[in-house]
């Protein structure tokens, strides 16, 4: 199931950028059906079904959205000339598919440490770039006219450096805000992790500024041992 989750996410990126071939479309639908069956089994075994739905509502949405494409309901929406609704559904699909990828990553890593954050950030960059390209590339004089440029733009947003181009579609702006908030949170975590690593390296070095911490700890242990020996000698003298 973990492998299928990553494959499904990769197929979604391909769908946003180039579209799916008939074969890939069949593969995507088969994986989607497997996920539906897996969810129904877990839902049937869950002791508190309402609570299970509340904790997995994004999963439910991610499984319902492909039905719009599979059962050709998108054509009905287009006939009503609600293009904005279609773009909104695409944004929702980006969010729900990314959430499934996050769940797959959390299940793959025993501990959500630094490596988990790095891999998750790469997934967010890949999916976010595909979403930005989908929303912005059809505009005139768009700065994101190909996936490579969108990937570079998303990477700059994630590193908080920014770029000269800013989204012009409402969906692109919403996605930009989400990416910026994620980058803000991750940047603080990465900075703290790197600082902790370098401070730890500094502490292990006796010649570094923080190397005195290690020496002070050794001195404290020696004083404690010496105090114990003195108390033992005093006790023996009092007994004599």
- The reply to whether 91 and 138 lie within a common domain is no
- Residue 11 belongs to domain with CATH number: 1.20.120.350
Q: Which residues of the chain have pLDDT under 70?
A: 67-92, 99-113, 197-217, 238-240
Asked if residue 11 belongs to a domain, the reply is yes
Task: Tell me the Ramachandran region of residue 81: left when phi exceeds 0, alpha when psi lies from -120 to 50, beta otherwise.
Answer: left
Task: State residue 81's pLDDT score.
Answer: 46
CA angle 102, 106, 107 (to 5 degrees): 120
Residue 194 lies in a domain: no
Last residue of some domain: 108, 137, 155?
Answer: 108
State the pLDDT at residue 11.
Answer: 84
Residue 137 lies in a domain: yes
pLDDT for position 191: 74
Question: Which phi and psi angles does 19 have, rounded to 5°?
Answer: 90, 155
Q: What is the pLDDT of residue 110?
A: 54
- Say how many domains are in the chain: 3
The predicted structure's pLDDT at residue 225 = 80
Q: What is the pLDDT of residue 201?
A: 60
Residue at a domain's end among 108, 134, 156: 108
CB under 8 Å to 95, separation ≥6 — which residues?
A: 58, 178
What is the domain extent for residue 133? 110-187
What pLDDT is stored for residue 1 in this prediction? Answer: 77
């Amino acid at each position: 199931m973990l492998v299928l989750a990553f494959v499904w996410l990769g197929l979604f990126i391909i769908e946003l950028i180039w579209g799916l071939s008939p074969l890939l479309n069949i593969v995507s639908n088969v994986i989607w059906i497997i996920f539906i069956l897996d969810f129904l089994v877990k839902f049937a075994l869950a002791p508190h079904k309402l609570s299970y739905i509340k904790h997995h509502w994004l999963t439910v949405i991610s499984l319902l959205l492909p039905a719009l494409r599979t059962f050709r309901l998108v054509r009905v929406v287009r006939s009503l000339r609600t293009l904005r609704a279609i773009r909104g559904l695409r944004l929702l699909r980006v969010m729900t598919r990314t959430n499934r990828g996050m769940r797959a990553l959390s299940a793959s890593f025993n501990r959500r440490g630094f490596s988990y954050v790095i891999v998750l950030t790469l997934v967010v960059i890949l999916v976010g770039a595909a979403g930005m390209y989908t929303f912005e590339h059809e505009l005139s004089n768009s700065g994101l006219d190909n996936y490579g440029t969108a990937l570079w733009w998303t990477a700059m947003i994630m590193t908080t450096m920014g770029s000269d181009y800013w989204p012009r579609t409402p969906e692109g702006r919403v996605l930009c805000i989400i990416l910026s908030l994620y980058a803000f949170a991750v940047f603080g975590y990465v900075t703290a992790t790197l600082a902790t690593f370098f401070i730890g390296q500094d502490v292990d070095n006796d010649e570094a500024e923080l190397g005195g911490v290690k020496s002070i700890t050794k001195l404290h242990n020696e004083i404690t041992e010496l105090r114990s020996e003195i108390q033992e000698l005093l006790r023996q003298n009092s007994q004599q």
